Chain A
Amino acid sequence: MVIFGIDLVLLISALMISATPVLLAAIGEAVVEKSGVLNLGVEGMMITGAVIGFIFAVNTQIPIYGFICAAIAGALLSVLFAVLTQYIMSNQVATGLGLTMVGLGLSALIGKPYEGIKSPTLSKIEIPILSDIPILGPMIFSHDAIVYFSVILVATVAFVISKTRIGLVLRAVGENQEAAHALGYKVVRIRFLAIMFGGATAGIGGAYISLARVPQWTEGMTAGAGWIALALVVFASWKPWRVLLGAYLFGGITVLQLNLQAIGVAIPVEILSMSPYLVTIVVLVGISLFGHHTAPGSLARPFHASQ
């Protein structure tokens, strides 16, 4: 199916790949924000995941090890944020910004020797039978493991948040921290774990950029993906399935503008390059206009249990 010189099958397939990094980071951040914490350090955790994942994948030549190490690195970096905001009661906005700065500096530093190297790539997993469906098969069921993982993760998070006890506690802590504390839930401990989960998924998301989407390491290569992930959480009104929808919409715009650049449409390259960011702003406005403001009640409020 080719429309205006753009192959639709390739477009959708590329869209899913392009959306996966922000999807992973955003679903993690959604959990963090559901617990009542605003971590603006997503960009920093993503870029750290990108560089650590790349280094381990190149040295072991096994991409999956890269992703595992990226998850650990992202989680470790987020521990820094968790300790500062949960135990030392620092300002969440400032700490998150600091985390992004540290992540960008750290990654540039340790990634220097790895510039210009190609990473091993993930192999595609063709899902039996489903991948044989015409058009739909190559579009959706012929991807690498992380793309499937991201979708499964969204489904799991959606299920856990809305249907399980753990999800209920998480939401309680995020909606009303004092009440949750009075009921005996360990507010700080639950938030700590949520932050680490967000760090791990942001790390994997970052590694997907350096190991699959590009696949190379360059300084600052996440180029705002972490911030877009943060915007997606707002766009999604903190609902997991809407995070997926938002990520794919965003991925679609990214891929479309790249395709338009490639076929040489008479729109300046810069306008096309800035379009994902502009669309994000427009969508944020739209959501504020028509969406339900369902931000967790205790979002970004520090919690200190005084006796």
Chain B
Amino acid sequence: MIRLEKRRNISKFWTTVTPVIAVFLTMSFGGLMFGLLLGDFSSAFGAIKLIFWDPLFDENFASYARPQLLVKAGPIILIAIGLSIGFKAGIWNIGAEGQYILGAIFGASVALSLYPQESVLIFPAMILAGALGGFIWALIPALLKVYFKTNEILVSLMLVYVAENILASVSQGLLRNPEGMGLPGSRNLKDYPSAHNSEILVNSGMHWGVLTAFLAVILAYFLFLKHQKGYEIRIAGEAPKAAYFAGINPSKTIIFCMGMSGLLAGMAGLFEVAGPAGQITMSFNSGYGFTAIIVAFLGRLNPLGILLAGLLMALTYIGGEIAQLMLGLPGASIQLLQGMLLFFLLATDIFTNYRIKSRGS
């Protein structure tokens, strides 16, 4: 018989090692799953290699895939950094997808209302508007939690569905391209130089959103390491009562955490709509808000961890696209792979929090 003994402090060693174990387990079981899907287990290894290795190192794919890695990782990391701030404080914003949509709508509205004027101030104004959109959308569950103790998990998630309906509405109405021959979807911001979130270096995938994501990683790192606010957030999450008695205002913590995560998610939405996506369409959002939840956990709510986890998750997206193209693997299998990754991580978490001992020893 084995028994568990709770560790007094979480193990630093296992905190670092378990994500790696989880990734390997996901690759193994994912390979098994692909073997089953393809009806041929000998190709299972090839499928895993195609997803996790080839996008970076195979010369046929790398020229396309490497820049794409940054394009996909940027918004995911940006959102996940925001979410991690709340998760640390035990505040569960799981509606980042909605805040992402609102950010995109707010930001794009600024550009579309100024079209076709050109000014260097337009893009910064869009970023502010995008951040504001996400911020406002996240403030709803935050204020409801502060004033009415309403569950923020449910409210933030309900607002995703509301945001999707708003998106559908504006892409067919308010923001529809007047020269689009009645088709849904806004003007393409790629054709509007002042509003276009262009690559900073050509063919690097590095656009302003990616840069912002990296900046957010660094700022979050200092927030938690050096700043009083970061300390307060951690206390609020780990020992709510102690935080309360220490005079840390729980309402302010809720509003700060939710607001920050909404702000970053909104910015991610703006960078996406002004850059890689180009326009507001009904299917503009692609689930980054949900993937970011996995990334936040996989990165251990640690900014540097999130950076790595975000890049890994972006890799599965791109590898998944390639595998779809080359092997005809269904798109949903990648979604399943990502879910599996989270599960394996949670399962191996036991090693960080508990010591495993055989009975009698």
Which A positions have Cβ atoms within 8 angstroms of B? Answer: 40, 80, 84, 88-91, 93-95, 97-98, 101-102, 104-109, 112, 219, 223-224, 227-228, 230-231, 234, 268, 270-271, 273-274, 277-278, 280-281, 284-285, 288-289, 293, 304, 306-307
Stretch in B111-119, B163-171, B188-196, B254-262 with 4+ CB within 8 Å of A: B163-171
Assess whether A230 is in contact with B154, with CB atoms less than 8 Å apart.
yes
Binary contact readout B1-23 vs A (1 if CB under 8 angstroms, 0 otherwise): 00111100000000000000000
Which of B126-134, B269-277, B289-297 has 4 or more CB atoms under 8 Å from chain A? B289-297
Q: A230-B154, A277-B158 are in contact. Are A105 and B338 (CB under 8 A)?
A: yes
Is there contact, CB below 8 Å, between A281 and B159?
yes
Q: Could you count the A-B residue pairs with CB atoms below 8 Å apart for me: how many are there?
A: 133
Indicate if B122 sits at the interface (CB-CB under 8 A).
no
Q: Which residues of B contact A293 (CB under 8 A)?
A: 149
- Closest A residue to B162 by CB, please name it: A274
Select one of A94, A97, A227, A278 contacting B162, CB under 8 A: A278
Q: How far is the CA of A107 from the CA of B168 in the complex (A)?
A: 25
Task: Identify which of B66-74, B238-246, B349-357 touches chain A.
Answer: B349-357
Separation of A104 and B335 alpha carbons in the complex (Å):
8
CB distance from A105 to the nearest CB of B (A): 3
B94 and A101 form a contact (CB under 8 A): no
Nearest-neighbour CB distance to chain B for A224, whole angstroms, equals 5
Partner of B148 from the list A219, A234, A288 (CB cut-off 8 Å) is: A288
A104–B290 Cα distance when bound, in Å, is 12
Bound Cα distance from A307 to B166, whole angstroms: 54
**B interface bracket (residues with beta carbon within 8 Å of A):** 35 or more
Known: A101-B338, A109-B37. 15 other contacts (CB 8 A): A94-B342, A95-B343, A98-B342, A102-B343, A107-B332, A108-B335, A109-B336, A270-B166, A270-B168, A270-B169, A278-B162, A281-B158, A284-B150, A285-B150, A306-B6
State the B residues within 8 Å of A (CB).
3-6, 37, 92, 94, 144, 148-151, 153-155, 157-159, 161-162, 165-166, 168-169, 173, 290, 293-294, 297, 330-340, 342-343, 346-347, 349-350, 353-354
20 A-B residue pairs with CB within 8 Å: A80-B343, A90-B349, A98-B342, A104-B335, A104-B339, A105-B334, A107-B332, A109-B336, A230-B154, A270-B168, A277-B161, A277-B162, A278-B162, A280-B154, A280-B158, A281-B158, A284-B144, A289-B148, A304-B4, A306-B6
